[in-house]
Amino acid sequence: MNWAQVWSLDNLRRLFVGELWDGQPGGLLLTVILGVLVIALSTPLGTAIGLLREHRLRLLRIPAAAYVHILRNIPTIVLVFWAYFAPPYLGFEVSRFTSVAIALTLGASAYIAENVRGGVRAVPRGHIEAARILGLSRWQILRLVILPQAFLTIVPALTGRYIVIFKNTSLAFLIGLTDLTEVGREINTRLLVAPLEVYLTLLVLYFALNRCVSTAMRKLEVPRNLNRFFFLPHRPA
Partner 1 sequence: MYAADWSVLWSTQYGPLLLAGMLSTVKLTLLCLSFSAVIGLLVGLVRWDGGRRAKTVSSWYIEFARNTPPVVQILFWFFSASFLLPSWALNAAQDFGLSSAAVVIALSIYHGAFVAEVMRGSLSAIARGQLEAALTLGLGRAQAIRLILLPQALRLATPSLVNEAVSLAKNTSLAMAIGVAEVSYAAKYIDTYAFRGIEALAAATAFYLILCGALVGIGALVDHRLTRDEVRA
Which residues of this protein are in contact with partner 1, per CB under 8 A?
70, 72-78, 81-82, 85-86, 88-91, 163, 166-171, 173-174, 181, 184-185, 188, 195-196, 198-200, 202-203, 206-207, 210-211
Quick one: 48 or 210, whose CB is closer to partner 1? Answer: 210
Planar angle of CA 151, 130, 138, nearest 5 degrees: 65
Which residue type does 221 have?
Answer: E
Kind of pairing, strands 18-19 and 24-25? Answer: antiparallel
165 neighbors 35 (Cβ within 8 angstroms): yes
Query: What is the nearest approach in angstroms of partner 1 to the Cβ of residue 128?
Result: 28
Query: What is the nearest approach in angstroms of partner 1 to the Cβ of residue 44?
Result: 24
Query: What is the nearest approach in angstroms of partner 1 to the Cβ of residue 116?
Result: 17
Among 168, 180, 192, smallest CA distance to 30 is for: 180
Query: What is the nearest approach in angstroms of partner 1 to the Cβ of residue 151?
Result: 22
Quick one: 3 or 85, whose CB is closer to partner 1? Answer: 85
Quick one: 86 or 134, whose CB is closer to partner 1? Answer: 86
What is d(CA 73, CA 44) in angstroms, rounded to the nearest whole number? 21
Quick one: 42 or 168, whose CB is closer to partner 1? Answer: 168
Q: What is the DSSP letter of 179?
A: B
Q: How many CB atoms lie within 10 A of CB 226?
A: 18
